[in-house]
């Protein structure tokens, strides 16, 4: 078997990120002490260059290389670009977090880059093997990042829970994959799809395997009833890590679901649609209702994640190309909103104090009207209030669901998002109508402030002009 160089060119973003991550590791070890922020700067540069490379590959034709383990298609290119840009934002916030808490080390960025690599592998996976390995690479990096804050009891607990439950989920996924392999005799996603196209007697085994695969995916997404780890991990991890976990990996999880459920197990859609409906409805219900009871901002956002995952799943349930592109749009914009939301916590924090209580947002308008406005945009967007991007994300998902005549599902989703709007708008109320608890000025770096502003304005701008990204999402799946 020979591999032409052009095959490797398709892998150029992956190869670039890997080489740079290794290089940064070495650079950090030798000159990290002398040159401040060296690994941060190099990491951002890496992500930027990788984003440019991937963006240029958007028009490259669909191709399966590396012995059928790697696929390049426009969806992969777009999702990778999205991951890179989101992580760039996450790194800016992480640096802001580090200046106020000093808890992160240079390894944060390196582990982050390896997590990005894992997401890229998942996004471009064309074999059960690569999906699993990409997932493990991502998870392993995340476990380590969550555990960074060793001295905090909550942090250690979060890392332990994340690790144990993540391992359990991987086991489930692997077991399901083994069933799929046993029934079809191939690890290749395309091979599985074509094996399923022929009528066989193994459908029972396939559905059995599918159950485990869906459970594994639901664990990774944090969909109810496999959501138990989400609030504790989000709450216990350092905020910089939480915003990393809560954003880009959701895009990768979406890609993994697309590859596994749609591309390879598409002919079993009747079976997985039913499972996903249960997950989606439960996630919407539990996420939105329990979030109301939270007093911690991080926990509230964790439950909000759960409910957003429910929405994302709706797009997949529609099982039409419009539904997939809506879900893709949702995943990308949600990641954007999520890093913004967590960034606000970092913005309000200062040395020795973390603004992760809802009460810390009281009277923000008096302290800083501009950032109160940014938070307002973010909260409105998460709640789905027009003209923010969250509204269009929800709208397109609901449209896809209604198009396949699942009106009741759309009604349920709308009902729960109205319930959910309560706790988002409560934050707005706290900011604008309550007395400030402290009048300490915001003491964060300029780039952090710029980044939060850009993030908030982007959420608004994408809401005003959603056409570009939406059509892109439709194009790459078309």
Partner 1 sequence: MDFERILFFLFATVLIYAAGRVITVRNPIHAALHLVLAFFTCAALWLLLEAEFLAITLVLVYVGAVMVLFLFVVMMLDINTSPLREGFIRYLPLGLGVAFVIVSEMYLVVRARNFGADVIAIPERHPEGYSNVKELGNVLYTDYVYPFEIAAVILLVAIIAAIALTMRKRPETKYQNPAQQVAVKAKDRVRIVEMKAEEKQ
Can you give the binding site for partner 1, defined by CB under 8 A? Answer: 1, 3, 11, 18, 22, 25, 66-70, 105, 107, 110-111, 114, 117, 121, 127, 129-130, 133-134, 136-137, 140-141, 143-144, 147-148, 150, 179, 182-183, 202, 204-205, 208
Closest CB 235 distance from partner 1, rounded Å:
20
**What is the rounded distance in angstroms from the CA atom of residue 341 to the CA atom of residue 320?**
31
Closest CB 140 distance from partner 1, rounded Å:
5
Closest CB 354 distance from partner 1, rounded Å:
21
Q: Which helix or strand (DSSP H or E) is residue 72 part of?
A: strand 70-72
> What's phi and psi for 20, nearest 5 deg?
-65, -40
User: HSE (CB half, 13 Å, CA atoms) of 69?
Assistant: 14
Nearer to partner 1, 33 or 62 (CB): 33
Q: Helices 269-292 and 297-318: crossing angle, nearest 10°? A: 160
Nearer to partner 1, 37 or 403 (CB): 37
Closest CB 121 distance from partner 1, rounded Å:
6
Nearer to partner 1, 143 or 342 (CB): 143
> Quick one: tokens of 209?
């395997």
Nearer to partner 1, 265 or 379 (CB): 265
Nearer to partner 1, 64 or 469 (CB): 64
Closest CB 448 distance from partner 1, rounded Å:
24
**What is the rounded distance in angstroms from the CA atom of residue 27 to the CA atom of residue 20?**
10
**What is the rounded distance in angstroms from the CA atom of residue 110 to the CA atom of residue 108?**
6
In DSSP terms, 350 is beta-bridged to 353
Nearer to partner 1, 21 or 322 (CB): 21
Nearer to partner 1, 143 or 416 (CB): 143
**What is the rounded distance in angstroms from the CA atom of residue 260 to the CA atom of residue 128?**
8
Closest CB 89 distance from partner 1, rounded Å:
22
**What is the rounded distance in angstroms from the CA atom of residue 339 to the CA atom of residue 317?**
26
Closest CB 1 distance from partner 1, rounded Å:
5
Q: Which residues of 362-380 are buried (b: 16+ CB within 10 A; e: fewer)?
A: bbbbebbeebbbbbbbbbb
**What is the rounded distance in angstroms from the CA atom of residue 228 to the CA atom of residue 387?**
33
């Amino acid at each position: 078997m020979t591999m032409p160089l052009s095959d490797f060119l398709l892998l150029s973003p992956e190869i670039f990120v890997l080489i740079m991550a290794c290089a940064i590791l070495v650079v950090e070890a030798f000159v990290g002490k002398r040159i401040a922020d060296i690994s941060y700067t190099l990491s951002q540069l890496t992500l930027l260059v990788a984003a440019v490379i991937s963006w240029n590959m958007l028009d490259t034709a669909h191709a399966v290389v590396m012995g059928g383990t790697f696929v390049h298609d426009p969806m992969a290119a777009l999702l990778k670009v999205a991951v890179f840009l989101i992580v760039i934002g996450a790194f800016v916030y992480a640096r802001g977090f580090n200046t106020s808490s000093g808890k992160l080390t240079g390894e944060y960025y390196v582990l982050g880059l390896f997590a990005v690599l894992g997401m890229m592998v998942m996004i471009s996976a064309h074999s059960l093997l690569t999906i699993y390995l990409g997932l493990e690479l991502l998870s392993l990096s995340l476990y380590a990042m969550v555990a960074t804050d060793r001295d905090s009891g909550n942090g250690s607990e979060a890392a332990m829970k994340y690790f144990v439950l993540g391992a359990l989920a991987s086991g489930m996924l692997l077991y399901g994959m083994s069933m799929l392999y046993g029934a079809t005799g191939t690890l290749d996603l395309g091979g599985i799809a074509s094996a399923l196209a022929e009528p066989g007697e193994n459908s029972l085994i396939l559905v059995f395997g599918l159950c485990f695969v869906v459970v594994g995916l639901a664990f990774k997404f944090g969909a109810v009833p496999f959501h138990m780890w989400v609030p504790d991990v989000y709450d216990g991890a350092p905020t910089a890590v939480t915003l990393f976990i809560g954003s880009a990996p959701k895009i990768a999880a979406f890609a993994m679901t697309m590859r596994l459920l749609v591309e390879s197990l598409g002919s079993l859609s009747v079976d997985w649609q039913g499972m996903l409906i249960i997950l989606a409805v439960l996630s919407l219900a539990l996420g939105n209702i329990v979030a109301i009871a939270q007093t911690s901002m991080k926990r509230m956002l964790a439950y909000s994640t759960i409910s957003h995952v429910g929405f994302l799943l709706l797009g997949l349930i529609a099982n039409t190309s419009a539904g997939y592109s809506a879900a893709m749009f949702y995943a990308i914009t949600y990641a954007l909103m999520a890093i913004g939301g967590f960034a606000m916590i970092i913005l309000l924090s200062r040395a020795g104090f973390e603004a992760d209580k809802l009460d810390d947002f009281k009277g923000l308008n008096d302290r800083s009207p501009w950032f109160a406005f940014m938070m307002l945009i973010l909260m409105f967007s998460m709640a789905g209030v027009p003209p923010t991007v969250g509204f269009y994300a929800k709208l397109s998902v609901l449209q896809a669901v209604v198009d396949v005549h699942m009106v009741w599902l759309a009604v349920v989703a709308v009902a729960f998002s109205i319930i959910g709007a309560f706790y988002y708008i409560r934050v707005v109320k706290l900011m604008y109508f309550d007395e400030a608890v402290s009048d300490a000025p915001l003491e964060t770096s300029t780039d952090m402030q710029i980044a939060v502003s850009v993030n908030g304005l982007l959420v608004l701008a994408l809401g005003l002009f959603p056409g570009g990204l939406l059509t892109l999402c439709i194009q790459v799946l078309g």
